[in-house]
A and B are shown apart, each in its own frame.
Chain A
Amino acid sequence: MGERTRQILPSVLSVLLALAVCWLTIALTRDADTATRAYLQMLWGGVGNWPAFLDGGNANAVLRPLGEAAMKAAILTLTGLSVAVAFKVGLFNIGAQGQMIWGALAAALVGAHVSLPGVVHVPLALLAAALAGATWSSIAAVLKLKRGVHEVISTIMLNWVAVSLVDNWLVIGPLRAVAEGQQSSITGTAEILATAQLPRLLGDSSRLNLGFPLALVAALGVWVWLTRTRAGYETRAVGLTPEAARAAGIPTQTRAGGAMALAGALAGLAGAVLVLGTEGRYPGSLGAPYGFDGIAIALIGNNHPLGAAVSAAVFGILRAGGTRMQLLGVHKSFPELIQGFALLFVAGRMVWLAVLRRRREQPTREQPSGEQPSGEQPSGEQPVAEVPRA
């Protein structure tokens, strides 16, 4: 088994197994036929109904679903990258949700209350969102670096603080849209100006907008940064062995803080893409736990920026198709169940590797032996930590 296969195979198998388990779930609670038809609906809803299109149907049958999938994939890519970047420096960013909330709010405010030509308005709103997200994640970074507070706990707390302050106060209070005429039941912030909307790429029939290419560029950028630049090299070194990085003269706190800020910025951008691309304002709440999804996306993508983009694409398609499952009485959140199971199976990566090895019956040990050969367990399995920890 090559190194690359070792990295990718468990993720692929996990997603496939999750699909199978979830099919079985529907088959058991309903029946096998419904399960199969629901899956087909999910597929057509995600990638478009190609058979119908090729039979001479409307191009919209394909463009619209693809647009929905791309939209979801863009947000998932960005939150996935957010989690992955933090992992690279050894931090577990469970707080992408909170960072995304602030990013979305910032984008909504700049989008609605600043008037500028479109060429500057969109970048400004994106920048504001990135800054807002970075600020929020930096709180966790400072607590970690200065006070030793574990980031898992602090980011969970910060998520709830963000939800409480934004959803339960700001957008229903001071920042609530001023009701016009009879529409007094409106929740959320004011509608953004047309200049702040992310341009649609395929006309009105598909909601595919600038957000998707933006997310891909972000993934590519993060990958290049991590692998080709000194700063990225330093960041990885800090994440893998912080003390060795410090001894090598690397400013570890700057790198850890920087990566965490970048993570927050990426999550903030996810919020901006949601607000500027589809919602048009900060709604009453974000609607879905995209930030938590980011954890699944990053880990299923094996913490690789491009892997995150691929897994975001897969789950973007499934989720866009999820709405179509409702036709068969399957709740639209069903793809989230698939995603949860996939993450669960990815967490069992060691199981996959053991199973694959047993099947291969490799005579030689795959894993290099550890530091002290004398202290090694004869039948010991070398653990592969999925997550570099600080």
Chain B
Amino acid sequence: MSLEDASLDIVPGELLAVVGENGAGKSSLMNVLYGLYQPDAGTFLMDDKPVRLKSPRDAIARGIGMVHQHFMLVPTLTVAENVVLGREPTRRGLLDLDRACDEVAATAKRFGFHLDPRARVDTLTVGSQQKVEIVKALHRGAQVLILDEPTAVLTPQESDELAQVMRGLVAQGRTVVLISHKLKEVLGVADRVAVMRRGRTVAEVRAAGTTVSALASLMVGEGSRGAALTGVPAASGAVVPDAQGEATSGPIVLDAKDLRAKGDNGRPALQGVSLTVRAGEIVGIAGVDGNGQRELAEVLTGLRSLDSGEGTLLGGPLKGLTPALAKARGVGHVPEDRLARAVVKAMTVEENVALGRHRQPPFARGPWVDFKGRRERATRLLSTYDVRPPDPTVALQALSGGNQQKVVVARELDADPKLLVVVQPTRGLDIGAVAQVHARLREAKARGAGVVMVSLDLEEVLALSDRVYVLYEGRVTGHFPRKDLDERELGRRMLGAESDHG
């Protein structure tokens, strides 16, 4: 699945947004524009002349620059080395690093960025790394700058800053192409919006003359699946706010105090987090990527060990928790990186359904695999959760991302968890699958499970949560019951602002 009959006009000196669901072909189209992929058919005109972009080199030569969603930086090199890579200044055949640093500093300054050209990239924050990416493109003389989902990892405040940067570039006569699925944000900054659906460009509208809901229905198409499934026109085309969210007073399933743990890099990731979760509520964990949310989820599922702090999780101590112990107590886990953490993609669907409960009936009999019991259970779950194809014997990797996620959710809910920890549960899914996953989370809550949901998507947090904790640099900087939720205030806390009213 990629592109079919997609067309796009890019006008110099404007900010064009390209919107569409995940998998609608936005990234593919941009990779074609950047010369990374070759189209099977079609033409590409620049200044009315046909052009063939055989590689990014051609694109760069013609003034096209791209900032990828996953940064394309070499972590072990410095900022300057990353920026000049491929067009290095030399003196007598040798690399002239001093000149590189000067040049990069000059470019950064010209566009208003503060960057230390001699810093190693792996020591920078995500926001700074993005700036390095932008400088990298501008340094190559990019007149057209393509940004692929640039705000996915930024706070609202950082996103605002980026919007100013983009407007500034346009004001200087450059062209910016912004790829996003965040419609509100797009309308705030773009001049024109192109909508993609299933590999085609289906509409082009002026931003000033349209609304979020008009764009959303264009994105989803006639007889929209999203609207049909939820009965509510989607705000961003993806998330349906919860109407009946009421704080519950079920028994406490998790009570944690002053949790401290280290991240993968050995630096403190959790620096004193306290939280409680009750049965029958969804607790959202908001924060900018990399502020300890992931580590918190790992601590709760036994994947990461605590340095200090204590707590009770489903009647047992939090300290010394292992994944097996967590499972035994009734913790379900839908991790962020499905392919790395939740499934074994080369195994069959039924083998994946068994994963985690493979030692117990109906998946095992004594030390042996129970093939019959496993087949029966898998078949039943596939039909209940509407997984397509409903064949338990195919390799999991043959399924689409949405269906893979359904398998994971089905497996975790089938175990009837008392505490469900989900991280970015809808990342990369299309609207239909998002709605289904959300419905399942609400269902788990209704059944009396406590749900901890980590999400970088503020809209998702706002729509589903009964309470929200905000994490910043491994600390809780905000705790909001549902009635007090406010997007701007959440954003402030995500940047580390302490509460001003106690």
- Residues of A in contact with B (beta carbons under 8 Å apart): 227-231, 233-234, 236-237, 240-241, 243-251, 368-379, 388
Contact = CB atoms under 8 A, between A and B. Distances in A.
Contacts of B369: 227-230, 233
A378 B40 contact: yes
B153 interface: no
B56 interface: no
10 contacts: A227-B369, A243-B340, A245-B355, A246-B303, A247-B356, A371-B339, A374-B2, A375-B31, A379-B38, A388-B346
B24 interface: yes
Given A230-B368, A243-B340, A249 B323 contact: yes
Which of A231, A247, A371 has most B Cβ within 10 Å? A247
Interface residues of B, number: 52
Nearest to B411: A248
B34 to A, nearest CB: 13
B244 to A, nearest CB: 33
A377 to B, nearest CB: 6
Nearest to B323: A249
Given A228-B368, A236-B347, A373-B400, A247 B301 contact: yes
Contacts of A377: 37
B341 A240 contact: no
A368 B303 CA distance: 31
Contacts of A240: 344-347
Nearest to A3: B395
B228 interface: no
Interface of B: 1-3, 22-28, 31, 37-40, 301, 303, 322-327, 333, 335, 339-347, 351, 354-356, 358-359, 364, 367-369, 395, 397-401, 404, 428
Contacts of A250: 324
A371 B401 contact: yes
Given A247-B341, A249-B356, A374 B1 contact: yes
Contacts of A230: 358-359, 364, 367-369
Contacts, number: 112
Contacts of A233: 351, 354, 358, 369
Contacts of B301: 247
A73 to B, nearest CB: 30
Given A240-B344, A241-B344, A243-B341, 9 more contacts: A229-B367, A237-B355, A241-B339, A241-B345, A246-B303, A248-B327, A250-B324, A374-B2, A375-B31
A247 B400 contact: no
A373 B403 CA distance: 13
Contacts of B28: 374-376
B340 A246 contact: no
A372 B333 CA distance: 22
Contacts of A376: 1-2, 28
A372 B1 CA distance: 9
A371 B405 CA distance: 11
Which of A231, A234, A370, A375 has most B Cβ within 10 Å? A375
Contact of A374 (B22, B324, B343, B364): B22
A251 B356 CA distance: 11
Nearest to B370: A230
Contacts of B399: 368
A248 B358 CA distance: 9
A374 B36 CA distance: 13
Nearest to B428: A372
A62 B372 CA distance: 46
B414 to A, nearest CB: 14
A130 B342 CA distance: 36
Contacts of A234: 358
B148 to A, nearest CB: 10
B263 to A, nearest CB: 16
Contacts of B327: 248-249
Contacts of B326: 249
A216 B28 CA distance: 51
A244 B343 contact: yes
Which of A240, A371, A374 has most B Cβ within 10 Å? A374
A368 B335 CA distance: 23
A241 to B, nearest CB: 4
Contacts of B367: 229-231
B26 A374 contact: yes
A49 B328 CA distance: 63
Nearest to A384: B346
A385 to B, nearest CB: 9
B146 to A, nearest CB: 15
Contacts of B428: 371-372
A120 B40 CA distance: 70
Given A241-B340, A247-B301, A378-B37, A368 B1 contact: no
Contact of A249 (B31, B324, B341, B343): B324
Nearest to B366: A230
Nearest to B22: A374
Given A230-B358, A374-B25, A368 B398 contact: yes
A262 to B, nearest CB: 16
A373 B1 contact: yes
Nearest to B70: A375
A60 to B, nearest CB: 45
Nearest to B25: A374
B356 A248 contact: yes
A242 to B, nearest CB: 9
Contacts of B341: 243-244, 247
A372 B401 contact: yes
Given A228-B368, A249-B324, A374-B24, A368 B397 contact: yes
Contacts of B303: 246-247
6 closest cross-chain pairs (CB), A and B: A249-B324, A373-B1, A368-B398, A248-B356, A249-B323, A241-B344
B51 to A, nearest CB: 19
Contacts of A373: 1-2, 23, 400-401
A67 B344 CA distance: 43
A382 to B, nearest CB: 9
Given A240-B347, A241-B344, A374-B22, A246 B395 contact: no
Nearest to B32: A378
A377 B40 CA distance: 11
A241 B343 contact: yes
B490 to A, nearest CB: 29
A371 B27 CA distance: 14
Given A230-B364, A237-B347, A375-B27, A244 B340 contact: yes
A7 to B, nearest CB: 13
Nearest to A373: B1
Contacts of B324: 249-251
A249 B342 contact: no
Contacts of B333: 247
A307 B351 CA distance: 22
A254 B344 CA distance: 19
Contacts of A249: 322-327, 356
Which of B26, B40, B344 has most A Cβ within 10 Å? B344
